[in-house]
Amino acid sequence: QIMSEIKIKIEGMSCMHCVGRVKQALGALAGVSEANVEVGSASLKFDEAKLSRQDIEAAIKKAGYKVAAS
């Protein structure tokens, strides 16, 4: 299994509550092995066989935040 690591900039986060929502959204995705979330960004390790960057960005948007262009 090949794990990929990415860092995504996230707009609209302002507090630890936001961090919790994003962490919960990412943790619910099959294939995410590790998610480190802080205000403004998330870095995570995931299995590309199970998940794509688009899936991850969709989960962030569904949680109510905007993915910043990197």
* pLDDT tens profile 13-65: 999 999 999 999 999 999 999 999 999 999 999 999 999 999 999 999 999 99
How would residue 69 be classed by pLDDT, with cut points 50, 70 and 90?
confident
Q: How many CA atoms lie within 13 A of 18 on its CB side?
A: 16
Look up the pTM and report it: 0.91
Task: Tell me how crowded residue 44 is: count the other CB atoms within 10 A of its CB.
Answer: 23
Element (H, E) at 25: helix 16-27
> Where in the chain does DSSP place strands (E)?
3-11, 32-38, 41-47, 66-67
